[in-house]
Amino acid sequence: MRRYLMLYLYFLRFSFSKAMEFRLDFSFRILMDILYYIVNILFFKIIFLHTPMLAGWTEEQMMIFVSCYILVDAISMTVFSSNMWWLPHHINRGELDYHLIRPVSPLFFLSLKEFSANSFLNLVIALGILIYSLVNYSQPFTVADVLLLVILILNGTLIYYCCQMLMILPVFWTQSSKGFMDLFFSMGIAMERPDRIFKGWLRVMFTILLPFALIASFPARLFIEKFHWPTFMHLTAVSIVLWMVMLFIWRKGLRAYSSASS
């Protein structure tokens, strides 16, 4: 464990020095993420000009939900996004060999090597948005509620990572992950909508099979509404199963990996 922690500190150091080399890109990335946050907040502000409630939530409750998915996005962009971008290329070009022979878990190395230092400031901004929406929330809540929300947001990030991996891993067999990645980014919009709007098969898909609706919506529900054990158990069970499925496909993929480039 200590070895992995030390390794991650090295990743951080390299990533920050690399980010500082490309200063203009550094500023562009910050602006881009801020714009993404503004667009998402404005979207719901406009919706609430036409309705007082959405999926059972008021505007201030919706802002907590929005800040939850903005924070999940910020963490993912900072910790995983660059790695997820390069992973299909490594598999396609047969470059995975270098990682398979290292004395560390290849999944750990390939998922966490590139820390997006230029997104780090956005992570701070996203955290600020969450704090702002909590401060302006009129209903009472305790420190334990906030702590649970933070843990569930981290769990949401893990679900997001697993879903993304599930869309990347077919590259072991299909040679190109572009279609699946496009699909992933399209499905990402389900994370940005409250889960109660989904009904029927769409609900099954987004809360069980590809649980994008659990990423931010369930954590927000458990914070805003009274703690509900079945919701919590659902979230926990799906997260564990998803992680196991992702690991299973990763191992299958490694067995199918031919080392040849395409």
Partner 1 sequence: MKWWKDVMGMELRKILAYRSDFWITFLGQTFIQLMVARALWQAIFETQGVSEMQGFTLEMMGLYYLIAPIGMKILNGPNFGFLAQEIYDGTFTRYLLYPLSVFQYKTLTYLTYSLFYSLQMIILLGIYRLFISEVAFTSVDVGHLFLGLLLFIIGAIAYCMMGMMIEMIALWADNIWSLAVMLRFFTSFFGGALIPITFLPVWAQNILVWTPFPYLLSLPIRTIMGLSTFQEVTQGALILMLWTLIFMEGVKLVWKKGQFKYTGVGI
Please name the amino acid found at residue 112: L
DSSP letters spanning 24-83: HHHHHHHHHHHHHHHHHHHHHHHHTTT-S-BTTB-HHHHHHHHHHHHHHHHHHHHHTHHH
State how far the alpha carbon of 134 is from the alpha carbons of 31, 53, 74, 214, in Å: 24, 19, 18, 20
Interface with partner 1, residue 204, by CB under 8 A: no
Shortest distance (Å) from residue 43 CB to partner 1: 6
Residue 207 is given by DSSP the state I
- Residue of 7, 41, 55, 249 that binds partner 1 (CB under 8 A): 55
Shortest distance (Å) from residue 211 CB to partner 1: 14
**d(C-alpha 205, C-alpha 197), whole Å:** 13
Stretch that binds partner 1, among 20-28, 134-142, 155-163, 220-228 (CB under 8 A): 20-28
Phi, psi of 57 (to 5 degrees): -110, 145
Cβ distance to partner 1 smaller for residue 2 or 21: 21
The count of C-alpha atoms lying within 13 angstroms of the C-alpha of 103, restricted to the half-sphere facing its C-beta, is 2
230, two tokens: 């079945």
Cβ distance to partner 1 smaller for residue 86 or 141: 86
Interface with partner 1, residue 46, by CB under 8 A: yes
Stretch that binds partner 1, among 103-111, 156-164, 178-186, 216-224 (CB under 8 A): 178-186
- Residue of 17, 139, 174, 262 that binds partner 1 (CB under 8 A): 174
Cβ distance to partner 1 smaller for residue 51 or 259: 51
State how far the alpha carbon of 246 is from the alpha carbons of 14, 104, 164, 252, in Å: 28, 19, 10, 10
- Residue of 146, 197, 208, 249 that binds partner 1 (CB under 8 A): 197
Binding site for partner 1 (CB under 8 A): 21-22, 24-25, 28-29, 31-32, 35-36, 39, 42-43, 46-47, 49-55, 174-176, 178-180, 182-183, 186-187, 189-190, 193, 196-199, 202
